[in-house]
Amino acid sequence: MSIHEGDKTTPILATANLSRSSEGITPIQFIKDSETIEQKHVHHKLFTTSNTYFNFKGKAYHWKSHAALLEDRTNICLAVFRPIYKSEPRHRIGSVIFTTEQADGLRDMVVITRLVDIARSDEAKLTVSPQSMKS
């Protein structure tokens, strides 16, 4: 997955390897700072929500329930994602709202990790299981 600054003709900001070779872990390469992070997606279970964990520039963060980005040490919410669902379930858009001035300096990281989180979440929803193949 390539994430561009704008449309596909603009510079690439980051790439993410969405292969299933490392279940739940997605390496993201930020082109500008030559930094690679590993984003670990933990799918929801009966009594827990989905969370995505990663470290960026020496700090630990996580996307809680695909909706809020928290800095782990301080538990400060840096950004929230407000989804907008269109008539087609695969066409999901939304807005990222920054909640602190501190988050503004992390704009690219916030948006890129959110896009990768959406891709991994969508991927999990599309997984074919033996049960779904029975007709």
The CA distance from 72 to 76, in Å, is 8
The CA distance from 1 to 58, in Å, is 24
Structure-token pair, residue 74: 């301080």
Q: What residues in the chain have per-residue pLDDT under 50?
A: 128-130, 132-133, 135
The pLDDT value recorded for residue 125 is 56
Backbone angles phi, psi at 107, to 5 degrees: -50, -55
Sorted by where each begins, the domain ranges of the chain are: 2-126
47-62 pLDDT, tens digit each: 667 789 999 999 999 9
pLDDT more than 70, % of the chain: 76
